[in-house]
Chains A and B, each alone.
Chain A
Amino acid sequence: MYDSGNIHTAQKTVCYHCGEDCKDDSVRLGDKVFCCTGCRTVYEMLSENDLCDYYAIEENPGVTKKNEVVRNYEFLNDNDLKNKLIDFSDGTTTTLTLYIPQMHCSSCIWILENLYKLNRAVIDSRVNFLKKQLTVKYKEQETTLKEIVELLDSLGYEPNLSLAEKEEEKNLKENRRLLYKIGVAGFSFGNVMLMSFPEYLALDSYVNDSLRYTFSYLNFLLSIPVFLYSASEYFISAYKGLQNKLVNIDVPVALGIIVLFLRSCADIAFEWGPGYFDSLTGLVFFLLIGRFFQNKTYETLNFERNYKSYFPIAVTTKKNHREISKPVEKIEVGERLVIRNNEIIPADSVLIRGKAGIDYSFVTGESAVIDKKTGDIIFAGGKQIGEAIEVDTVKEVSQSYLTRLWNNDIFTEDKESKITTLANQISKYFTFVILAIAFGSTAYWFTLNSFTAFHVFTAVLIVACPCALALSTPFTMGNTLRIFGLNKFYLKNIKFIEELGKINTIVFDKTGTITESGNSEISFIGSTLSEDDSKKVASLARNSAHPASKKIYGHLNCEELYTVNSYTEVPGKGVSGEIEGDSVKLGSAEYIFETPENTEEKARGTKVFVSINDKFCGYFLLANKYRKGLSELMFGLKNNFNMAVISGDNNSEEGTLKEIFPPETKLLFKQSPQDKFDFIAGLQKQGKKVLMIGDGLNDAGALRKSDIGISIAEDVNNFTPASDAILEAGSFNKLPQFFKFAKTSHNIVIVSFIISFIYNLIGIGFAVTGMLSPVIAAILMPLSSITVVVVTTALTGAYARMKGML
Chain B
Amino acid sequence: MNVIIILIIASIFVAGFFLVLFLWAVKSGQYDDSYTPSVRILFDEKKQTKKSYSDNESNIDKEHHTIGGADKRDQSTNISVNKEQHT
Contacts and interface: CB of A to CB of B under 8 A. Distances in A.
A binds B: yes
B5 A183 contact: no
A99 to B, nearest CB: 13
10 contacts: A12-B81, A12-B82, A14-B82, A53-B48, A103-B68, A183-B26, A187-B16, A191-B12, A215-B8, A714-B70
A59 B15 contact: no
Contact of A190 (B15, B27, B57): B15
B61 A105 contact: yes
A715 B71 contact: yes
Most B CB atoms within 10 A — which of A113, A187, A222? A187
Contacts of A214: 5, 8
Interface in B30-87: 31-36, 39-40, 42-43, 47-48, 50, 53-54, 57, 60-61, 64, 67-73, 75, 78-79, 81-82, 85
Contact of B71 (A53, A104, A194, A195): A104
A191 B75 contact: no
A14 B71 contact: no
B27 to A, nearest CB: 7
A179 B67 contact: no
Contacts of A559: 81
Contacts of B50: 56
B39 A109 contact: yes
Interface of A: 11-14, 18-21, 53, 56-60, 64, 101-106, 109-110, 113, 127-131, 172, 175-176, 179-180, 183-184, 187, 190-191, 194-195, 208, 210-211, 214-215, 218, 222, 300, 559, 714-717
Contact of B36 (A109, A176, A300): A109
Interface in B5-27: 5, 8, 11-12, 15-16, 18-19, 22-23, 26-27
A57 B54 contact: yes
A123 to B, nearest CB: 17
A160 to B, nearest CB: 13
Given A104-B71, A218-B8, A300-B67, A128 B39 contact: no
B78 A211 contact: no
B35 A130 contact: yes
Pairs of residues from A and B, 5 with the lowest C-beta to C-beta distance, nearest first:
A187-B19, A104-B71, A715-B70, A104-B68, A129-B36
Main secondary structure of the interface of B (DSSP, over half): helix
A218 B27 contact: no
Given A56-B54, A60-B78, A106-B42, 20 more contacts: A11-B85, A12-B78, A12-B81, A19-B75, A20-B78, A58-B54, A104-B64, A104-B68, A106-B64, A127-B40, A128-B36, A130-B36, A130-B67, A172-B32, A176-B32, A183-B23, A184-B19, A191-B15, A715-B69, A717-B71
Contacts of B72: 104-105
A21 B85 contact: no
A155 to B, nearest CB: 16
A552 to B, nearest CB: 19
A105 B32 contact: no
Contacts of B18: 187
B54 to A, nearest CB: 7
A113 B69 contact: no
A648 B60 CA distance: 43
B32 A128 contact: yes
Given A57-B57, A58-B61, A130-B33, A101 B71 contact: yes
B1 A208 contact: yes
Contacts of B57: 57-58, 106
A716 to B, nearest CB: 7
A104 B72 CA distance: 6
A18 B23 CA distance: 42
Contacts of A211: 1-2, 4-5
A606 to B, nearest CB: 23
Contact of A176 (B11, B26, B67): B26
A187 B17 CA distance: 10
Nearest to B50: A56
A64 to B, nearest CB: 8
A708 B1 CA distance: 64
Given A13-B82, A59-B79, A129 B71 contact: no
A86 B72 CA distance: 28
A340 to B, nearest CB: 24
B82 to A, nearest CB: 6
Nearest to B32: A172
A386 to B, nearest CB: 24
Contacts of B12: 191, 218, 222
B56 to A, nearest CB: 9
Contact of A53 (B15, B36, B47): B47
Given A20-B73, A105-B72, A128-B32, A180 B26 contact: yes
Contacts of A103: 68, 71
B16 to A, nearest CB: 7
Contact of A127 (B23, B32, B36, B47): B36
A582 B27 CA distance: 68
Nearest to A109: B39
Contacts of B85: 11-12
Contacts of A172: 32
Nearest to A52: B47
Contacts of A59: 54, 75, 79
B33 A129 contact: yes
Contacts of A109: 36, 39-40, 43
Given A187-B16, A211-B4, A715-B70, A106 B60 contact: yes
A176 B54 contact: no
Contacts of B82: 12-14
Nearest to B48: A56
A215 B82 CA distance: 74
A60 B75 contact: yes
A21 B69 contact: no
A499 to B, nearest CB: 27
A129 B33 CA distance: 8
Contacts of A19: 73, 75, 78-79
A714 B70 CA distance: 9
B27 A176 contact: yes
A14 B82 CA distance: 8
A768 to B, nearest CB: 36
B23 to A, nearest CB: 6
A717 B16 CA distance: 42
Given A59-B54, A187-B16, A129 B35 contact: yes
B87 to A, nearest CB: 13
Nearest to A102: B71
A105 B65 CA distance: 8
A720 to B, nearest CB: 13
Contacts of A20: 73, 78
Contacts of B75: 14, 19, 59-60
Contact of B15 (A101, A128, A187, A300): A187
A11 B86 CA distance: 11
A201 to B, nearest CB: 15
Contacts of A101: 71
Given A105-B64, A129-B36, A110 B43 contact: yes
B78 A14 contact: yes
A534 to B, nearest CB: 19
A110 B4 CA distance: 53
Contacts of A53: 47-48, 53
A249 to B, nearest CB: 27
Contacts of A208: 1
B21 to A, nearest CB: 10
B71 A21 contact: no
Contacts of A175: 31-32
